[in-house]
């Protein structure tokens, strides 16, 4: 809806002559290469498999898609691997440098005063804006579990944090709650919810919050479309538009 409003506003700013030409010409949509939907379905299905079978199927499907698509389709879409290479190099650097910092944060979250679901919402969100959200999610989730004296690798502890245990089962976990450890309650699932929601939505705050963000920017620039700079995107778009929405979500659900 927000995109529609901005797009509609920019459309109305066009000169009247250009606007009439666009409306007179109309739009014609042509879809080719529909066989790639099959490969997409295979990749989505592979998500639920165990490694390394999952990765083998995904890579194989991507290669098969590329080889079975007509060259003229690639040429008409100006397809090349430059954006993918840029994203790969960028995220290789991010992954190489962020792991020690996230590990430290996991062990010291309580010392930093991060103990409330709302704090986990903002903490996860800020880092997910500049780092990959998968390891950020896992580290903050581990920190939330550690705050309750639980382990993210224990299925019983996972059920406890998700509010899936009976009151009798919860009573057996009380032995874990020594001095200074937050007890598991019927509201502990809010920690998981806050971390999960934040890790997903904050990825749009910057070009590097999600891999596709930077890839879309690179593709647009190759098409000679002027794109805002890294901080320009944040100042003009994500902060004035997304940040108020995220603040509203925090105020309603996690404060």
Q: Is 137 within 8 Å of 193 (Cβ atoms)?
A: no
Work out the average pLDDT over 7-28.
Answer: 74
- Site of tokens 């700013």: 13
87-104 confidence digits (pLDDT tens) = 788 778 877 777 777 777
pLDDT value, residue 11? 79
Q: Average pLDDT over the chain, rounded to whole?
A: 83
- What is the mean pLDDT of the segment spanning 172-197? 72
User: What is the rounded CA–CA span in Å between residue 149 and residue 161?
Assistant: 11
Res. 217: pLDDT tops 70: yes
69 and 34 in contact (C-beta within 8 Å)? no
* CB count in 10 Å sphere of residue 220: 13
Distance CA 35, CA 64 (A): 11
CA angle 144, 108, 147 (to 5 degrees): 25
pLDDT at 169: 66
SS3 at position 47: coil
Per-residue pLDDT, 87:
77
Q: pLDDT band for 86, please (50, 70, 90 cuts).
A: confident
pLDDT at 201: 93
Cα–Cα distance, 138 to 144 (Å, whole number): 10
pLDDT of residue 183: 66
pLDDT recorded at residue 179: 45
Model pLDDT, residue 122: 95
pLDDT score for 174: 60
CB 147 within 8 A of CB 110: yes
The predicted-structure confidence for 135-180, as pLDDT tens digits, reads as follows: 888 888 888 888 877 777 778 778 878 877 776 666 666 655 554 4
Render pLDDT for 221-248 as a digit per residue (tens, 0 to 9): 888 888 999 899 999 989 999 999 999 9
| Alpha-carbon separation of residue 89 from 45, 86, 208 (angstroms) | 27, 5, 12
More confident site: 59 or 86: 59
């Amino acid at each position: 809806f927000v995109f529609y409003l901005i797009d509609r506003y920019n459309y109305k700013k066009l000169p009247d002559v250009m606007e009439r030409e666009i409306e007179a010409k109309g739009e014609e949509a042509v879809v080719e290469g529909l066989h790639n939907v099959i490969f997409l379905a295979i990749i989505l299905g592979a998500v639920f498999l165990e490694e390394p079978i999952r990765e083998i199927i995904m890579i194989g499907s991507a290669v098969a898609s590329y080889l079975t698509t007509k060259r003229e389709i690639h040429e008409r879409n100006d397809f090349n691997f430059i954006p993918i290479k840029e994203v790969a190099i960028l995220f290789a650097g991010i992954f190489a440098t962020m792991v020690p910092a996230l590990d430290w944060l996991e062990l010291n979250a309580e010392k930093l005063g991060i103990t409330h679901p709302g704090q986990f919402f903002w903490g996860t969100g800020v880092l997910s804006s500049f780092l990959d959200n998968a390891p950020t999610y896992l580290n903050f989730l581990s920190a939330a579990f550690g705050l309750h004296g639980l382990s993210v690798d224990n299925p019983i502890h996972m059920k406890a944090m998700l509010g899936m245990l009976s009151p009798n089962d919860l009573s057996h976990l009380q032995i874990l709650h020594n001095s200074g450890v937050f007890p598991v309650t019927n509201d502990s699932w809010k920690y998981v919810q806050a971390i999960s929601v934040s890790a997903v939505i904050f990825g749009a705050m910057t070009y590097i919050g999600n891999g596709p963000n930077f890839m879309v920017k690179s593709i647009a620039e190759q098409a000679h479309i002027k794109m805002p700079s890294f901080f320009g995107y944040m100042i003009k778009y994500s902060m004035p538009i997304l940040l108020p929405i995220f603040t509203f979500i925090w105020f309603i659900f996690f404060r």
